[in-house]
Structure 1
Amino acid sequence: MTDAAKEALAMRRASVADAPAVLRLFDEVIAWFVAIGNPQQWGSQAWSSIPRRITQVTDACALPGAWVAETSQGEVRAFLALGDAMPYVPAAVEPELYVRVLIASRDPRVRGIGRRLMAFADGQARAAGVAYVRVDCYAGGSGDLVRFYESCGYERLSTFNMEGWPGQVLGRRL
């Protein structure tokens, strides 16, 4: 992606009004997962058709640490929700910022936005005076997602299993 294309995306606070656009991102990524043979991560059904998922995404968009990356035309290309740790991971032993949700379009014009959002999360942590950031992710399949977070400077901390869904918790000291 060229620098000009990267600059075309702007970060802004999300709101519940962004939930339909964020659900479209999930639907896009789920369709891609199915196409590459990875329906285990989030299933094969569009989240925009599942009431529980619609509620989860709407609630995430309402979080005070929710952000969208959008084009100058107002098209949402990525979503980031920061806040407290998820209830299914071990509690932090020090103040932290937790990456609760990170989803990005598969559109090649926004390639690299996930890495930019993780750097944005680091900046938000620093601005809040917090020196520790954690994230969890799907640890199954090829392991590419865990390796992505490692490439962003995160280290593996612990694993978990939620009803057959393998997860990995990673952390980074700033």
Structure 2
Amino acid sequence: MEITIREGGPDDVPAILAMLDSCVEWLTAQGRTEQWGTKPLSRHERTVASVVGYMDEGVTYIAEADGTPAATLTLTDAPGAYLSHLDPPGEPERYIHWFASDRRYQGHGLGSALLAHAAEETRRAGVALLRVDCYAGQDGRLVRYYEDNGFTRTDTYVSGTSWPGQVLARRL
């Protein structure tokens, strides 16, 4: 399988939402509903608005598998407002939003390739800090995935009343 990475745009929104829905379906099939629930994220107006908003604010990248959009993330200059209670890093950063992959391509390295691309784009911009946050509940597999891709744990937080989150950083 050939992996290529390109910039995304407004025409990619349906593919990105399909990737997110694929993740929800996969998580639900495993009984892991605490992260994103059971309803397709494409049906949540706030999710759609968030995806589009971050695309407008930053740069979206799409990893294609043999020409088919299969993974995505968006890089901006700051975390979302839901993390405004955390101390800022005190230096320029790039922040990853809406990192997801079509689960049909699981195990083919698309996510790792996209994270490496985000690190290279961050470095190319002269920025030495790349950060991301994620769901930190259940068995912590998602946090370990980021650690396996060069990130280290920094801040923990709780979103809403009980959604455990973890911020991770990668020095470049």
Give the TM-score, by structure 1 length.
0.89
Alignment of structure 1 residues 91-106 onto 2, 5 Å: 91-106=88-103
Contact 2:5-2:114 at 8 Å conserved across structures:
no
Q: Could you list the per-position Cα deviations for residues 49-96 of structure 1 after superposition, in whole angstroms to 9, with x for gaps in the alignment? A: 2222222223233343111112444x2101110012222332221111
Distance 1:18-1:123 versus aligned 2 partners, 3 A rule: same
Aligned-partner Cα distance in 1 for 2:58–2:66: 23
Counterpart of 1:171? 169
Mapped to 2, the partners of 1:55 and 1:88 lie a distance apart of 15
Q: Distance in 2 between matches of 1:161 and 1:72?
A: 39
TM-score, normalisation: structure 2: 0.90
Q: Quote the offset at 1:109 in angstroms.
A: 6.6
Give SS of 1:88's match. helix
Deviation of 1:159 (Å)? 0.3
Separation in 2, partners of 1:98, 1:108: 24
What displacement does 1:153 show?
Answer: 1.4
The percent identity for this pair of structures is 37
Secondary structure in 1 aligned to 2:82?
coil
Kindly provide the CA deviation profile for residues 18-74 of structure 1, in whole angstroms up to 9, marking residues without a partner as x: 11111111111100000001111011001122222222223233343111112444x
Deviates more, 1:133-142 or 1:61-70: 61-70
Once structures 1 and 2 are overlaid, which stretch shifts more, 90-99 or 52-61? Answer: 52-61
Q: Does 1:82 align with 2:75?
A: yes
My pick for the range that moved more, 151-160 or 110-119, is 110-119
Contact map agreement 1:96 1:131 (CA 8 A) in 2: yes
**Partner of residue 145, structure 1:** 142
Other structure's SS at 1:62 match: helix
Correspondence for 2:14 = 20
For structure 2, the 5+ residue unaligned runs are none
Do 1:158 and 1:168's aligned partners in 2 also have CA atoms closer than 8 Å?
Answer: yes
Correspondence for 2:104 among 102, 107, 116: 107
Q: How many pairs were matched up?
A: 167
Contact 1:12 1:67 in 2 (8 A): yes
Inter-CA distance 109–100: structure 2 relative to 1 (3 Å threshold): closer
Unpaired stretches in structure 1, ≥5 consecutive residues:
none
Which has the higher mean CA deviation after the structures are superposed, 61-70 or 150-159?
61-70
Q: Hey, what's the Cα distance between the residues in 2 that align with 1:43 and 1:139?
A: 15
**Partners of 1:63 and 1:9 in 2: how far apart?**
26
Corresponding residue to 2:124 among 119, 122, 127: 127
